Amino acid sequence: MKKGLLASLLLIFLLLISACGNGSEDKTAEKAKETQDKPKTEANAGTPSGEEMTIGVLPAESAIPIILAKEQGFFEEEGVNVSIKSFSSPNDRNVAVQAKELDAAIGDVMTEATFKENGIDMKITSDISEDFKILSSPDSGITEMSGLSGKKVSLVPNFILEYIMDEFAKKDNFDYEIVEIPSFSGRAEALLSNQIDGVVFTEPQAGMLVKQGAHLLGSSKEAGIKGGTIQFTDEMIDSKPGDIKAFYTAYNKAVDYMNETEAAEYSDILSKYQFPEQMSAYLSSMKDDFAHAGKIDKQQFDNIIKWTKEKGQIKKDYSYEELTDFSFIEE
């Protein structure tokens, strides 16, 4: 009798242990699933790896917050190790991306789409501060945008420069002839010597050319045209989200520093990155503050993707969700 009772009690005890074990396993599995399902913004709170990342920039105002974040120690404060590689043309930057020499780059929506089309996996993680100007040559006599109808305009095809020029041409209903001169200096010289009728230039180079006699016809910023981006490789996004989060914290610190500091105090730093001496005067004349990193507008994105496809650069209508990840700049 006692043996039977003991056996029954032992059986009940084993069943209870088994039930507790299953409950613990269920909770562990449930917790794991919750971790997998957590939004990426929570994952981004991770500690930066401290390993070097390299970002490619061009000598334009969009690069200034990155340069200052590096030179003023904001990246170091956030524990992220950033190396900056400066390029003189978008094509040179793209070669470096294809060679996997960069972890991130300043670019534009159409560049990101063409990268994806060609098997280069990157995502747009923010916009940039940018303003592109359309100028005419000193002796052209052209003082209005419509005056470029049928004229020779120099820009880098297939990038944001051509998109901006096309938007202005569409608005004023005219066609123009593209003259491709890849380098900044080559385009500037051709414009001032009246070898071409117009050009699309970023600042501060555009302001310098106006002071030398070129005519200002239009501004992408004033027209509300925006497609410039910062983009990171998928490998960085997947393996080092903490580094990207820290990158943007430092980037925004640099923007705050720019808005609170006279340009003359840091303009000499920019000369190390191929910026002209006149950069200080341009920055001092800016009416609006630099903005923190933000999202690319979806309508602008869709318009640029449509344009890129019509130009034959891509075959697919890439979606906003496919090519962007703004979780690193979300508060």
- Taking the chain (331 residues) in runs of 10, the rounded mean pLDDT of each run is 44 44 45 41 68 94 95 97 92 94 97 96 96 96 97 93 96 96 87 97 87 96 94 97 98 96 89 78 81 96 97 96 95 65
Tokens 């051509």 found at: 162
Any idea which architecture 52-130+226-329 has in CATH?
A: 3-Layer(aba) Sandwich (3.40)
Give the tokens for residue 141. Answer: 């006599």
Residues of the chain with CATH 3.40.190.10: 52-130+226-329, 132-223
Give the tokens for residue 27. Answer: 């909770």
Q: How far is CA 216 from CA 39, 112, 144, 189, in A?
A: 46, 29, 8, 16
Average pLDDT, the chain: 87
pLDDT of residue 283: 82
Q: Rounding to the nearest 10 degrees, give the CA dihedral for residues 161, 320, 121, 45.
A: 110
pLDDT of residue 9: 41
pLDDT of residue 44: 44
Q: Do 157 and 180 contact (CB within 8 A), yes or no? A: yes
φ, ψ for residue 243, nearest 5 deg: -65, -40
Alpha helices in the chain (DSSP H): 2-37, 40-43, 64-71, 74-77, 90-98, 109-117, 160-172, 184-192, 205-211, 220-223, 234-239, 241-260, 267-270, 279-285, 298-310, 320-323
Class of domain 132-223: alpha beta
Whether the full predicted model's pTM is greater than 0.75, yes or no, is: yes
pLDDT of residue 331: 65
φ, ψ for residue 77, nearest 5 deg: -60, -35
pLDDT of residue 45: 53
Distance CA(324)–CA(262), nearest Å, equals 34
pLDDT of residue 298: 97
pLDDT of residue 75: 98
Question: By C-alpha distance, which of 158, 139, 157, 130 is closest to 198?
Answer: 139
Distance CA(217)–CA(134), nearest Å, equals 5
